[in-house]
Each structure stands twice: as C-alpha cells, then as structure tokens.
Amino acid sequence: MRQLSTQDTDFEQQLKDLLAFETVNDVDLLKTVDDIIAQVRHDGDKVVLALTQKFDQHPATTIQELELSKQSLAEAFDSLDEKVKSALTTAATRVQTFHKRQVQETWQYEDELGNRLGQKVTPLDRVGIYVPGGLASYPSSVLMNAIPAKVAGVTEVIMVVPAPNGVLNPLVLAAAHLAQVDRVFTIGGAQAVAALAYGTKTIPAVDKITGPGNKYVAAAKRAVFGQVGIDMIAGPSEVLVYAEGEAHDRADWLAMDLLSQAEHDRIAQAIFVTTSSEQLAQVATEIENALAELPKADIARDSLQNRGALILVKDRSEGMALINRIAPEHLELSVDDPDALLDDIRHAGAIFMGRHTPEAIGDYCAGPNHVLPTSGTARFSSPLGVYDFQKKSSIIYCSEGGSKPLAETADILAQHEDLEAHARSARYRYQ
C-alpha cells in the first residue's frame, strides 16, 4: 500500500495519479447501450424479457414472471430471523426519521407592491429505483433509495433489481416490503433503465431513476437523462479517514474502517491521512494484521494496492486542505474534537465525527443516506435525499396595482432584448 507525504517532491503528481478515475465512456459501451435503449423503445416488453433471459440467465418465459407480487415481498420479510428483522426495522425507522427533516414545504410571501411570490413544492409522481443484483445486492440500498422517495410523497415507487439465474437475496425483498416499494421487477442493466425511462406495456415509465449500477447502467442513465431525471453517475466507493495520532486513537479501529471500504470492490478507494508518522506506520501494520483474517482479503488487498494510500501531512491545516481537494464520499474524523474541524470542511459526502462513528454505522442505520457523491463530485453534489424526490414550481401572482411598475420594467428590458411581443404583453398591463 502506497505511503505518501506532502513533503515528497512529487507529491502533487502522486496525488493526481491516486485520484485519477474516470468512468470509461468508450464508444463500444455507448453504442451497446444506445442500441439496447432503441430496442426497448421499439419493442418494449419483448426485448426486456429477451435481454433478461440473455444477460441474467433468468428462467422467466413471460414478462409477467419478472414482476414480484407484494405478497412475495411480505413473505420474504415475515420469514426473516427475528434479529435481522429487528435490525432492518431499526435501520428503516432511523432512515425515515432523519429524512423527514429534509421535507421542503411550499412558501409564499407578499412583496412591497402587493404581489405574491413563492415556491410550490410537489413530490414526483413516479420514480424508479435501481438496485444492483448479484454480489452487490444490498438491502440497505433499497431502504436508502425508497425511503426518501416515500417520505417525499412520491405516489409510486418502482424498483428494479436483476436476478441472475432468477435468484435474489431475500433480504432485498424484505427491505422492499419494509420501505413500501409499490412494484418490483427483476430486471437490470441498460434494458431496465430504458424500460423505466420510456415505459413498456408492462413496466410503467417513471419521472426519475435513482440508484447505483455497473457501467452499463451508468451509461444508460446518462443517455436517458432529460427524458427522466437521474440522481448521479456513481463511481467506486471511497473513504478518507483522518487522524492526528492522539492518545485515544486505536490503530486497529482505523485499519478496519479503511478495510471496510476496501472490501467492497477492487477499485474502491481507502485513504488514510494523518499528521503522525508513527500512527501511519501503526495503521499500516494493523491493516496487514486484519487482512490475514478477512474473508474478502483478496478484494481488499487489490483495492489498497491499486487505489489506497496512507498520507502523512505536516499539520491539521494541510490535512483540511487535502480533504477539500479530494472531496471524499465518506470522511471519518478520528479526533478528540471533530467539531473544531467541521467549519473547515467544505467538500465531503458524509462526515463521520469522532472515534465512535465508523462509516459502517452510516452505511446501515445512523439515518442519513448512504447514497453519496463519489469521485470528488461532493464538490457540487449532495447525498441522495428527500429533495431529490420533490421539485419546485415558482409562483408569481401580480395584483392589478402591483403589476404596473413591474410591467414597465419588463417593457424596457424586453425592448432592449428586441422582443417586441414581450414588451407589448407587458405594456397591456400598465397602459
């Protein structure tokens, strides 16, 4: 695992190399995805079924078999072990409680002219949530996507999840039950995105598609953006753990927090930043110790080797600058007084404060969303939230008297934009 120091003469270049990650938008991929979308738009259900049989080896012979009944979701939930049922319920409740605080309300006010201005907030009618299948089929992802939509008041939440060979993680179905998902189709890939964006006879068209997926899903989401809304184009998951070698730090905890990111994926990224070279060495050792016992050591090792780093910074101020430069998806502040750092942090998807807040708690059950901006996009985007499932309409209500001065202003500006009909339309209101 690479060890860097901001004092290295080539640190700048090393950091660039470390952070270099771009979704491959290769021409073949785009063409494949465009073809699939075109086919689904043209032949609907037939193509969706055929591609699901082909790519997922799904045994269904009709499109109807690709929809799961609400009954089957409820059964999946009911047959869970009590301990798991309770954990999942706790997670769902906490996620719901947090997200309720994000609900935006309509507001209006009267200006000094007697005109009324405002912003009307409305939930989306219908959204599609994409849940990856196979290895990365996580019940927590179902909760994190569906609950904000439901809290926002979305009328219908449609979930798609591919079921390779027809097999699904029952916890995913249980989570769909718990989150009150309205309909579930066991489809995936670009064909699922296309079906949700344009609709087929069986699968209803939605207004927005959220949720992570592989490169086909990402390319398809980019292609249908505009026809429907999308959340973001997710890259590999990352964590940045920051510490300052304080007495209460536990190198084994820090190491495991980094590994919990690295075990996700060979291209996941775990970065440790510290002001203490002793601590850096301890964490390196503890990572090796822990790797010896982890079932996914192979994946984690690759991830750390390819994209991980232990970085020594001179002081806190350099640390904060580095964090803002990286704009990590997950940021752990393993320090005695994380509040002292909070003001200086401008860019991060989620900030895990103090030693008792490992990322894993946020992944499952703290309450805030685990769908977070990756690859530095925290510079300009936010965690998935209720605000992604509500939208706004401006309200403008001019009184007869209040309209006149505004109409006069609009008249003048319209004339200078050479828009005579605009000017006349305004003039009617004050002359």
Asked if 104 and 385 count as a contact pair (C-beta separation under 8 A), the reply is: no
Residue 282 assigned as binding residue: no
Query: Which member of 98, 185, 198, 242 binds a second copy (CB under 8 A)?
Result: 98
For a second copy, the closer CB: 160 or 372? 372
Q: Name the minimum Å distance from CB 391 to a second copy.
A: 5
For a second copy, the closer CB: 66 or 423? 423
Q: Is 204 helix (H, G, I), strand (E, B) or coil?
A: coil
Q: Which two tokens stand for residue 107?
A: 């507001």
Residue 369 assigned as binding residue: no
CA distance 290 to 309: 16
For a second copy, the closer CB: 21 or 53? 21
Distances 376 to 82, 144, 203 between C-alpha atoms, Å: 40, 21, 34
Cα-based angle 191, 212, 86 (whole degrees, multiple of 5)? 115
Q: Which two tokens stand for residue 234?
A: 């997710």
Asked if 426 and 410 count as a contact pair (C-beta separation under 8 A), the reply is: yes
Query: Which member of 128, 133, 139, 162 binds a second copy (CB under 8 A)?
Result: 139
Question: What is the footprint of a second copy within residues 329-368 (CB under 8 A)?
Answer: 338-339, 342, 345-354, 356-368
Using CA atoms of 312, 317, 320, 321 in order, give the dihedral in degrees to the nearest 10. -90
Q: Name the minimum Å distance from CB 385 to a second copy.
A: 7
For residue 416, how many C-alpha atoms fall within 13 Å in the half-sphere facing its CB? Answer: 5
329 included as an active-site residue: yes
Residue 130 assigned as binding residue: yes
Q: Does 90 bind a second copy (CB under 8 A)?
A: yes
Query: Which member of 18, 48, 76, 124 binds a second copy (CB under 8 A)?
Result: 124
Q: Does 117 bind a second copy (CB under 8 A)?
A: yes
Question: What is the footprint of a second copy within residues 251-290 (CB under 8 A)?
Answer: 252-253, 256-257, 259-260, 262-264, 290
Residue 191 assigned as binding residue: yes
Sort strands 107-110 and 116-123 into parallel, antiparallel or unpaired: antiparallel
Residue 22 assigned as binding residue: no
CA distance 389 to 220: 20
Q: What share of the chain is helix, strand, coil (3-state, %, to 5)?
A: 50, 15, 35
CA distance 129 to 208: 8
Q: What letter does residue 400 receive in the DSSP assignment?
A: H
Question: What is the footprint of a second copy within residues 154-183 (CB under 8 A)?
Answer: 171
Question: What is the footprint of a second copy within residues 56-85 (CB under 8 A)?
Answer: 83-84
Q: Does 247 bind a second copy (CB under 8 A)?
A: no
Question: What is the footprint of a second copy within residues 369-408 (CB under 8 A)?
Answer: 369, 372-373, 375, 377-383, 385, 387, 391-400, 402-403, 406-408
Closest C-alpha to 336, from 244, 241, 240, 239: 244
For a second copy, the closer CB: 278 or 339? 339
Which among 330, 332, 359, 370 is annotated as catalytic?
Answer: 330
Query: Which member of 138, 198, 216, 242 binds a second copy (CB under 8 A)?
Result: 138
For a second copy, the closer CB: 9 or 428? 428
CA distance 409 to 396: 16
318 included as an active-site residue: no
DSSP E strands, 315-389: 330-334, 350-353
Q: Which helix H or strand E contains 177, and what residues bound it?
A: helix 170-178
Give the number of other CB atoms < 10 A from CB of residue 49. 23
For a second copy, the closer CB: 139 or 188? 139
Q: Is 154 helix (H, G, I), strand (E, B) or coil?
A: coil
Query: Which member of 151, 300, 310, 341 binds a second copy (CB under 8 A)?
Result: 300
Asked if 236 and 263 count as a contact pair (C-beta separation under 8 A), the reply is: no
Residue 237 assigned as binding residue: yes
Q: Does 44 bind a second copy (CB under 8 A)?
A: no
Q: Does 414 bind a second copy (CB under 8 A)?
A: yes
Q: Which stretch binds a second copy (CB under 8 A): 42-50, 67-75, 274-282, 418-426?
A: 418-426
Residue 324 assigned as binding residue: no
Q: Does 418 bind a second copy (CB under 8 A)?
A: yes
Q: What letter does residue 226 receive in the DSSP assignment?
A: T
Which among 244, 329, 332, 359 is annotated as catalytic?
Answer: 329
CA distance 351 to 357: 9
Annotated binding-site residues for NAD(+) read 130, 191, 214
Annotated binding-site residues read 130, 191, 214, 237, 261, 264, 330, 363, 417, 422
Annotated binding-site residues for Zn(2+) read 261, 264, 363, 422
Residues annotated as catalytic (active site), given as ranges: 329-330
